[in-house]
Amino acid sequence: MSDLHVEREPRSSPRLWRALRPAADLAIAAAALYLAFEIRIYWPLPWTGGLLPADRLTFFAGAWPAVLAGQALTLYLVGLYDPPAPLPRLDLVRRLLLATTAQLGLLLGFLFFAERSFPRSVLLLYVLGDLVALFGWRLLVQQFYRASTRRVLVVGSGPEAREIAESIAERRWHGLVVAGYVPIPGEAAPAEAGPLGPCLGGVEDVPRLLAENVADDVILAPPADNWQTEFLSRLSSGRQQRTNVLLLPGPFESLVGAMRYRWVHDVPLIEVVRDSEWRLSRPLKRLIDLAMALLLGVLTLPALLGAAAVVRMSSPGGVLFRQQRVGRGQRPFTLFKLRTMRADAEAETGEVLAALDDPRVIPGGGFLRRARLDELPQLWNVLNGTMSLVGPRPERPGFVQRYLREVPGYGERFFVPPGLTGLAQVNGDYHSSPRNKLRYDLAYIANWSLWLDLSILFRTVKIVLTSRGV
């Protein structure tokens, strides 16, 4: 079986690099501030001499926490602590400029509220030195870091198995390589495996393949159109609000992660679908939606007015765009957006998804979409109760009817209100498949908590700053 081995490339320790990246970033921030200070000491300007603190150590002891916190926060928000996918140099410079500019604003705010007099020239030198050093360091990371390779064996050969294999092949920086696949019992092997690689036998051969180091990990990718999923699809259209669905687990289900259990005497049951927590949590979630939507509406009003002016000046037609979407309980509602496409964008095509470099986008519309400024009017949808801040993204009626037919279990996502953002939006891509988005939506419904909502909202800020997903 030696011909089936996938040779490993020399790799660096992922844990070492994960620790080294933030440690070096913080060291760069400290060194850049110290050097900026020293430069101004040796080359003073006449009007800043009295502003330089005489006791540098005392100043650094007070300023460094703000500097280091600003460095870590801004680099996280621009996506530089994500899995180290190689970035084009222009994109890297753009993100670092955004991070260092935000740091400058944070430091100015810190010095103002701390009532400290300090020359702005030192801060400008700090930002410039920090930018140059971070750029050089991040180039080194991209050049030398390689995730340790793990070979995976895919169990399954259907659409789900192909989807995960294609994702692994397209994103090699995650450190996974598909060694091959084995079909599930009763499943016919495909005529052309493509990204799945060679067929390595059957399920009964998996222990031997692992023992012979053909693969390190196993990915189970069974077909989604099984009877259990079909059962949930049928149930979602008529299930009462207080209905719970419980599963008597076998050994395999009992080993799957952290799940909610109930016990009937000494028999464990897994809560597959539960309603009790959502009934109790909906009032709290609604209260948070109202408070945050009002706050965000006030804070983003200048940006909304500026974006509306861009739409008005760049294209004939209305500024606001109204569109039918499907919400909780599969009830239709009107969604509001800023128009970023021609007024007759779908006159000839009907309902179609936006594409990369879509020719229907108006001048300036691409920026509005990347910055998510076109979504700001949906705060009104949150206020009127047709949407929530966090939840599955609402789809158009035509797409919903199609996905209900084609995607098993799709009806379950309408158990909760749709959201401005969601788990699929902060983890997946805009063009991710409906099946994959449904996985995130159902995971959100099953694991909802206030902290999960706050985490998604915080990560949405990073998505906006990095322009990912459009």
What is the tens place of the pLDDT at every residue in 245-263? Answer: 777 776 666 666 566 655 6
More confident of the two residues 256 and 361: 361
Co-location of 250 and 349 in the same domain:
no
Report yes or no on 6 lying in a domain.
no
Co-location of 69 and 161 in the same domain:
no
Co-location of 376 and 453 in the same domain:
yes
Co-location of 303 and 419 in the same domain:
yes
Long-range CB contacts (< 8 A, 24+ apart) of 364-368? 364/310, 364/311, 364/314, 365/311, 365/314, 365/315, 365/339, 365/340, 365/341, 366/340, 368/307, 368/310, 368/311, 368/338, 368/340
Which of 89, 117, 144 is the last residue in one of the domains?
144
- Mean pLDDT (the chain) is 80
**Do the strands 217-220 and 150-155 form a parallel or antiparallel pair, or are they unpaired?**
parallel
Co-location of 283 and 417 in the same domain:
yes
Domain span holding position 198: 149-220
The answer on pLDDT for 397 being more than 50 is yes
Co-location of 362 and 389 in the same domain:
yes
Which of 94, 115, 144 is the last residue in one of the domains?
144
Co-location of 346 and 380 in the same domain:
yes
Dihedral sign from CA coordinates of 35, 39, 42, 48: negative
Whether the CB-CB separation of 421 and 444 falls below 8 Å is answered with no
Report yes or no on 311 lying in a domain.
yes
State the Rg of the chain over Cα: 26
Which of 144, 177, 194 is the last residue in one of the domains?
144
Report yes or no on 9 lying in a domain.
no
Co-location of 202 and 315 in the same domain:
no
Report yes or no on 5 lying in a domain.
no
Whether the CB-CB separation of 331 and 386 falls below 8 Å is answered with no
Co-location of 448 and 312 in the same domain:
yes
Co-location of 287 and 382 in the same domain:
yes
Report yes or no on 8 lying in a domain.
no
Tell me how far CA of residue 13 lies from CA of 81, 115, 147, 172, in angstroms: 16, 45, 7, 16
Q: Lowest mean pLDDT of 16-25, 223-232, 283-292, 416-425, name the range.
A: 223-232
Structure tokens at 5: 């081995």
Co-location of 70 and 134 in the same domain:
yes
Whether the CB-CB separation of 272 and 249 falls below 8 Å is answered with no
Average pLDDT over residues 304-308: 91
Co-location of 23 and 103 in the same domain:
yes
Condensed to tens digits (0 to 9), the pLDDT of residues 90-147 reads 888 999 999 999 988 888 887 777 776 666 777 888 899 999 999 999 888 877 776 6
Condensed to tens digits (0 to 9), the pLDDT of residues 146-164 reads 667 788 899 988 888 888 8
How far is residue 277's CA from residue 393's CA, in Å, rounded to a whole number?
A: 21
The number of domains in the chain is 4
